């Protein structure tokens, strides 16, 4: 079993803390790296939680959750919400999302979601939620790989990659002057700026698709 976990760990992921709050005021939070987007229309996401997790009943009862994508430098939050604690939120700066869900300050993105369904996933519960509100900031993400934390770094142009051959030219013809050849190196993404640097911006929004619209003032906790 350990060797299988080690093999799974070879897949590098981002890190998120999923939070929730019940109408009675109970709050819960867990660290996950199983978060993924599922659909744009409707806007769906999923994440997985161990059936043995003490917070599992709270998430099932609440019917709502918030996914907070951690930024580089927030590994302390990942460790905090991954460890057992009577109050994981003590000393943690949060801000309320629509519906009263707690969002972690400084997260790269936060998604307020309504639980659509909870599937049986063996020793885990697979939560599928519809995104009703989101907040996004620019910055560098926290990365998890093989049991350790790291940061994302864009690859430079790699001279070791063989150049792509130029398009063939028919015998007797010649290439039109100024016609570019096929680029010999792949394009690579530009690294994003870390929070606080020049050019930093934030975005918030509600999801609007087809004939349904979810606005922040319409989102209420499930009773």
**Which are the contacts of 173, defined by CB distance < 8 A and separation ≥ 6?**
none
- CB contact at 8 A, 87 and 159: no
Q: Of residues 172 and 32, which shows the higher confidence score?
A: 32
Q: What is the rounded average pLDDT for all residues in the chain?
A: 81
Q: Of residues 164 and 124, which shows the higher confidence score?
A: 124
* Terminal-residue alpha carbon distance, the chain: 40
Q: Can you give the pLDDT at residue 84?
A: 92
Q: Can you give the pLDDT at residue 104?
A: 98
Band of the pLDDT at 163, cuts 50, 70, 90? low
pLDDT, tens only, 52-69? 999 999 999 999 999 999
CA distance 169 to 178: 15
Detail the DSSP E strand segments found in the chain: 13-14, 16-21, 27-32, 36-40, 43-50, 64-69, 94-96, 102-104, 109-121, 124-137, 142-145, 148-151, 202-206, 208-209, 212-213
Q: Can you give the pLDDT at residue 62?
A: 95
pTM of the complete model: 0.72
Q: Can you give the pLDDT at residue 63?
A: 95
Q: Is pLDDT of 73 > 70?
A: yes
Q: Can you give the pLDDT at residue 43?
A: 98
Q: Can you give the pLDDT at residue 186?
A: 38
Q: Can you give the pLDDT at residue 164?
A: 62
Q: Is pLDDT of 40 > 80?
A: yes
Q: Can you give the pLDDT at residue 90?
A: 95
CA distance 212 to 206: 11
71-75, 121-125, 163-167, 195-199: which range is least confident on average? 195-199
> At which residue do the structure tokens 């002057």 appear?
177
Give me the domains of the chain, ranges plus CATH numbers: 2-151+190-213 (2.30.110.10)
């Amino acid at each position: 079993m350990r060797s299988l976990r080690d093999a799974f760990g070879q897949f590098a992921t981002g890190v998120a803390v999923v939070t929730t709050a019940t109408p009675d005021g109970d709050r819960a939070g867990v660290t996950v790296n199983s978060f993924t987007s599922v659909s744009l229309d409707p806007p769906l996401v999923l994440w997985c939680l161990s059936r043995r997790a003490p917070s599992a009943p709270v998430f099932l009862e609440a019917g709502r959750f918030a996914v907070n994508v951690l930024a580089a430098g927030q590994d302390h939050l990942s460790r905090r919400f991954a460890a057992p604690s009577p109050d994981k939120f003590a000393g943690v700066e949060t801000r309320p999302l629509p519906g009263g869900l707690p969002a972690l300050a400084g997260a790269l993105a936060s998604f307020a979601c309504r639980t659509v369904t909870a599937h049986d996933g063996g020793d885990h519960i697979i939560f599928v939620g519809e995104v009703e509100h989101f907040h996004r900031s620019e910055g560098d993400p926290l990365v998890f790989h093989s049991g350790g934390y790291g940061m994302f770094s864009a690859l430079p142009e790699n001279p070791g990659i063989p150049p792509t051959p130029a398009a063939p030219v028919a015998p007797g013809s010649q290439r039109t002057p100024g016609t570019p050849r096929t680029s010999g190196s792949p394009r690579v993404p530009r690294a994003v700026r870390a929070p606080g640097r020049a050019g930093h911006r934030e975005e918030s929004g509600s999801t609007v698709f087809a004939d349904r619209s979810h606005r922040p003032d319409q989102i209420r906790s499930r009773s």
